[in-house]
Amino acid sequence: MTARTPLKPLVAVVVLGWAAVVLPSAPVQAQTNSGQPWMNQSLSAGRRADLLIRAMTLKDKVGLVHGVDRKEHPFKGYVGYVPANPRLNIPALKLADGRAGVGNKATGVTLLPAPIAAASSWDPSLLETFGQVIGKEQWGKGTNVELGPTIDVVRVPQWGRTFETYGEDPYLNSRMAAAEIKGIQSQGPIANANMYLTMNQESDRFKIDSVVDERTLQEIYLPPFEAAVSSGVGTFMCAYIKTNGVYSCESPHVLGNLLKKQLGFGGWVMSDWGGTHSTVASAEAGLDQEMPDDRYYGKALETAVTYGQVSMATLDEHMRRILVTMFRHGLFDRPQPGDWDSNVRSPEHDAFSRGVAEQGTVLLKNEGNILPLSGVSSIAVIGADGGTRPQVEGGGSSHVVAPYVISPLDGIRKRAGEGGRVAYSDGSDLASAAGLAKSAAVAIVFVSTAEGEGHDRPNLELPDKQDDLISTVAAANPKTIVVLNTGGPVLMPWIDRVLGVIEAWYPGQEDGNAIAAILFGDVNPAGKLPLTFPRTADKIPTSMQQQWPGANGKSIYSEKLNVGYRWYDATATEPLFPFGFGLSYTTFRLGHLEITPTILSKGAGVIDVTVDVTNTGHRRGAEVVEAYINQPSGNGEPPRQLCAFAKVFLKPGETKQARLTIEPRALSYYDMSTHSWISAPGTYQVLVGTSSRNLPLRRDITITDASN
Ligand code: BGC
């Protein structure tokens, strides 16, 4: 375990129920004015940027639009670095990865659960704190650009980076992205919306072409990025992939039309690492900065500007975006004392990591109320994931050096206490695993998938014969519970032979403590799936090779709007576990659905929804009320789309009113003839319940005349 050093009190921490809530500190001190006009803090960011640009030489400018090689400019662990320009008072840009904590091999940091676990909380306030914790640790490390969050909608369940995302729904994704970005930026660093756009697979990620129609792009893949812009995100990362034949990082449509014009993004776009493919085309299209080096934006750009292939005005536009963002986020004005070697951990962050793992855990099956465990005389913990090799995180640029890892075995032993009989088998020998299972009152099998950047999963099965392990244990002990540590959905051919199933995702450093709290009922599970679990491999939205991993260099988005649960609903396919699903140790009743207004005409505003939620069981618990919209069939929309949700925490017997807000966008579609969102007249149904397949409360809304 890394030694803890006291942290500067940049934030105050209040422990509120399950999570540590990090509150921003007072504004930091301003630096002394150097006499350079752009250092005058009373001027606007735009004015200061203009003044500075006027003082810059071509070399100064080019120096800001690319990263530098670590060998030539030694810098600490950051994954991207733009040196300071002391003459002009421009601070260095220090970029580091951070999806589940500070990455790039930093030590003295907290390993949080994967973002897919955080998203399973369906709690934007938790995501905001998630962002605050990452932002605070990054700032403490000296990072001023935090490379996260990853906000792509999951299209392909085998996608190797599913764990880094918030799942398969644009609306859920948007809410989570906005909250996390707000949290990150409240602590100092500028956040980075990545990976823009249609980055939906790892297979052939450096050259695959995502072929997607404009309506699908607008309705499914763009909205989370739109939410990121609205939340004030300072930077974007364009993806490796091509969208409709053009690399994202040199696409005038993707960067210029969609991001900068339509979404009105005022910050800067950097390329993914090695994702720049040209000088002139990229500069003209709207790529503001090449990362991590200067292959296309160093000498080559200087020459292109000198000979007029790229105009000075174009370069100044890139400059302005970078500088305005830096001024806006205070990088010129506040000290950045953080250092890569600092220990930025704290007990509050450890506790928060555990809280996220607990809130993100989804109880999928609980036959005969096998859980929570009580009065159990002995427990067999089985599987490498349960003891010798816990899968606590995903791989690639998300990797975080964990300060410690509590394995499930450690956590369960600690919770079971002195008298608790807990035995372990790593499952490598089926006969001994079966023997151990037979001798125990309950068997808990821990299984996992190792997912990460650079490769998709070949299929949706658990690897390494783990299905056999589960079946063998279940045959030996009818009281078998399965805990999944996966980054995305898996098939469960053994589902009918086990009594309990828990999806605990990649739970971070507090793995064992969190799962023990769930298993023993210290924490009542309240997580909901942010993506669908299919029943069989052929019954998924992207089962054809042309769709994934693609053919002839193209991935065809022929499922169009029917991404995730939308496809299951449109094709009446029964999933194994639907989007939005998750059980609790208590029970809830929903009633008194009220909607106002129910008749809308042109320019109508938001719709208010209230629902009474009652905890009808005997434990404290939380329920997520989910609202979906069913549009008139003529609009050509999928049968149901999530449009609002609210999480309610209730004591036994308590009733609270959940308040949800449906935005006008939910009652509209992207019209290809006018290239805009329109709300067609007709009857729209609002469906309310506790998963995408359990929507007992319904009300109609009528739109009387068209609007756009
Ligand atoms: C990943 C990015 C990451 C970058 C820097 C790339 O391979 O796609 O998400 O931020 O590396 O580590």
pLDDT tens, position by position, 440-454: 999 999 999 999 999
* DSSP of 256-290: IIIIIIIS---SEEEE-TT----SHHHHHHT--BB
CB atoms within 10 A of CB 278: 15
Report the SS3 class of residue 398.
coil
Q: How far apart are the C-alpha atoms of 577 and 598, rounded to whole Å?
A: 32
Question: How many angstroms is it from 397 CA to the middle of ligand 1?
Answer: 6
pLDDT tens, position by position, 584-636: 999 999 999 999 999 998 766 899 999 999 999 999 999 999 999 999 999 99
What's the confidence (pLDDT) of residue 11?
33
Report the SS3 class of residue 132.
helix
What's the confidence (pLDDT) of residue 428?
98
pLDDT surpasses 70 at 330: yes
- Ligand 1 atom with the smallest distance to the CA of 97 is 10
Report the SS3 class of residue 311.
coil
Q: Is 138 in the pocket of ligand 1 (CB under 6 A)?
A: no
Q: Which residues pair with 444 in a beta bridge?
A: 381, 481
| Percent of the chain with pLDDT strictly greater than 90 | 92
Task: Report CA-CA distances (Å) from 296 to 236, 277, 307, 577, 637.
Answer: 19, 7, 15, 47, 42
Cβ atoms of 508 and 392 within 8 Å: the answer is yes
pLDDT tens, position by position, 629-661: 999 999 999 999 999 999 999 999 999 999 999
Nearest to 382 by CA among 280, 450, 281, 481: 481
pLDDT surpasses 90 at 22: no
What's the confidence (pLDDT) of residue 32?
44
* DSSP of 142-178: T-SEEE--B-PPP--TT-TTGGGS--S-HHHHHHHHH
Q: How many residues does the chain have?
A: 708
511-519 vs 408-416: helix crossing angle, rounded to 10: 50
Task: Report CA-CA distances (Å) from 393 to 111, 446, 449, 452, 490.
Answer: 8, 15, 10, 9, 16
- Ligand 1 atom with the smallest distance to the CA of 239 is 8
| Percent of the chain with pLDDT strictly greater than 70 | 94
Residue nearest to atom 4 of ligand 1 (CA): 273
**Model pTM?**
0.95
- CB-facing half-sphere around the CA of 291: CA atoms within 13 A: 27
Nearest to 225 by CA among 166, 137, 185, 306: 166
Q: How far apart are the C-alpha atoms of 122 and 690, rounded to whole Å?
A: 12
Q: Is 79 in the pocket of ligand 1 (CB under 6 A)?
A: yes
Nearest to 393 by CA among 161, 181, 166: 161
Amino acid (one-letter) located at 542: T
pLDDT surpasses 60 at 247: yes
Phi, psi dihedrals of residue 379, rounded to the nearest 5°: -125, 135
Question: How many angstroms is it from 213 CA to the middle of ligand 1?
Answer: 27
Q: Predicted confidence band at 197 (pLDDT cuts at 50, 70, 90)?
A: very high
pLDDT surpasses 60 at 305: yes
19's CB contacts (< 8 A; 6+ apart) are 126, 129, 351, 352, 355, 356, 359
Q: How far apart are the C-alpha atoms of 70 and 505, rounded to whole Å?
A: 35
pLDDT surpasses 50 at 347: yes
What's the confidence (pLDDT) of residue 265?
98
3-state secondary structure 653-702: CCEEEEEEEECHHHHCEEECCCCEEEECCEEEEEEEECECCECCEEEEEE
Q: Is 185 in the pocket of ligand 1 (CB under 6 A)?
A: no
Backbone CA torsion sign across 119, 125, 130, 131:
positive
The radius of gyration of the chain's CA atoms, rounded to the nearest angstrom, is 26
Q: Which residues pair with 596 in a beta bridge?
A: 608
Q: How far apart are the C-alpha atoms of 436 and 73, rounded to whole Å?
A: 57
Q: Is 194 in the pocket of ligand 1 (CB under 6 A)?
A: yes
Question: How many angstroms is it from 202 CA to the middle of ligand 1?
Answer: 12
pLDDT tens, position by position, 202-244: 999 999 999 999 999 999 999 999 999 999 999 999 999 999 9
Query: Containing H/E element for 97?
Result: strand 93-97
pLDDT surpasses 70 at 3: no
pLDDT surpasses 70 at 1: no
Q: Is 614 in the pocket of ligand 1 (CB under 6 A)?
A: no
What's the confidence (pLDDT) of residue 21?
39
Report the SS3 class of residue 609.
strand
Q: What is the mean pLDDT of residues 485-502?
A: 98
Q: How far apart are the C-alpha atoms of 530 and 584, rounded to whole Å?
A: 16
pLDDT surpasses 60 at 9: no
What's the confidence (pLDDT) of residue 71?
85
Residue nearest to atom 6 of ligand 1 (CA): 273
Q: Which of 95, 97, 399 to mutate to test the pocket of ligand 1 (most atoms within 8 A of CB)?
A: 97
| Angle at CA of residue 568, ends 606 and 691, nearest 5° | 50
Q: Predicted confidence band at 418 (pLDDT cuts at 50, 70, 90)?
A: confident
Q: What is the mean pLDDT of residues 517-521?
A: 98
Q: Which has the higher per-residue pLDDT, 420 or 250? A: 250
Q: What is the mean pLDDT of residues 100-108?
A: 98
What's the confidence (pLDDT) of residue 706?
63
What's the confidence (pLDDT) of residue 122?
98
What's the confidence (pLDDT) of residue 31?
45
Q: Is 272 in the pocket of ligand 1 (CB under 6 A)?
A: yes
What's the confidence (pLDDT) of residue 604?
67
Nearest to 494 by CA among 381, 384, 365: 365
pLDDT surpasses 70 at 469: yes
Q: What is the mean pLDDT of residues 360-376?
A: 97
- CB-facing half-sphere around the CA of 268: CA atoms within 13 A: 29
What mean pLDDT value characterizes the chain?
94
Nearest to 397 by CA among 69, 105, 181, 112: 105
Tokens of 323: 């500088």
Active-site annotation, residues: 272
pLDDT surpasses 90 at 673: yes
pLDDT surpasses 90 at 34: no
Nearest to 131 by CA among 349, 360, 358, 455: 349
pLDDT tens, position by position, 119-141: 999 999 999 999 999 999 999 99
Give buried/exposed letters for 675-689 (b at 16+ CB in 10 A, else e): eebebbebebbbbbb
